[in-house]
Amino acid sequence: MLSYFKFHHIGIAVFDIDSTAKYYISAGYSKTNTVYDPVQNVYISFLTKDGMPKIELLAPKDETSPVNKILKKNGVMPYHFCYEVDEINQAIADLKKLHFVLINMPVRALAIENKKICFLFNKDVGLIELLEE
């Protein structure tokens, strides 16, 4: 990614947050409360452990949830990396120069302190999420 990006988390599509989280909890991770994000139409919980990457578990609310395609095709799996940036619109412009396609305009994410997020895709990199710090 760009030199000013700061890694934030790995997003994992899951069928059920509690069913997946129990494995991480048994390995010493702590789990946040699960919240529903109506903008993304998913349930979200974060897992943290000192010295380890932060993990975001995303479970579908219903059949219209965006993670359903991933789950139906591949089952539970990591599907995006999230990076913190100081200015999300500048980061989007910089990524577009590198042939990333903006999937959605920046929106407020309830699960991440109501900060702005957006997703971009590049065929050589995959899906990334930007989080405005």
**pLDDT computed for residue 8 by the predictor:** 96
**pLDDT computed for residue 113 by the predictor:** 80
CATH number of 6-132: 3.10.180.10
Q: Which amino acid is at 48?
A: T
Q: Which tokens go with 32?
A: 């946040």
Buried b (16+ CB within 10 A) or exposed e, 36-65: ebeebbbbbbbbeeeeeeebbbbbbeeeeb
Task: Please give the helix or strand (H or E) that residue 122 lies within, else none.
Answer: strand 115-122
Query: Which residues in 49-109 belong to E strands, given as ranges?
Result: 55-60, 77-85, 101-102, 107-109
Maximum Cα–Cα distance across the chain: 43
At which residue do the structure tokens 């494995």 appear? 23
Query: Phi, psi (5° rounding) for residue 71?
Result: -65, -40
Q: Which residues of the chain have pLDDT under 70?
A: none
Where do the domains of the chain lie?
6-132
**pLDDT computed for residue 59 by the predictor:** 98
User: Mean pLDDT of all residues in the chain?
Assistant: 95
**pLDDT computed for residue 55 by the predictor:** 98
**pLDDT computed for residue 4 by the predictor:** 96
Of 79, 80, 86, residue with least CA distance to 2? 86
What's CA 84's distance to the chain center, in Å? 11
**pLDDT computed for residue 1 by the predictor:** 72
**pLDDT computed for residue 68 by the predictor:** 94
Would you call 14 exposed, middle or buried from its count of C-beta atoms within 10 A (0-12, 13-18, 19+)? Answer: buried
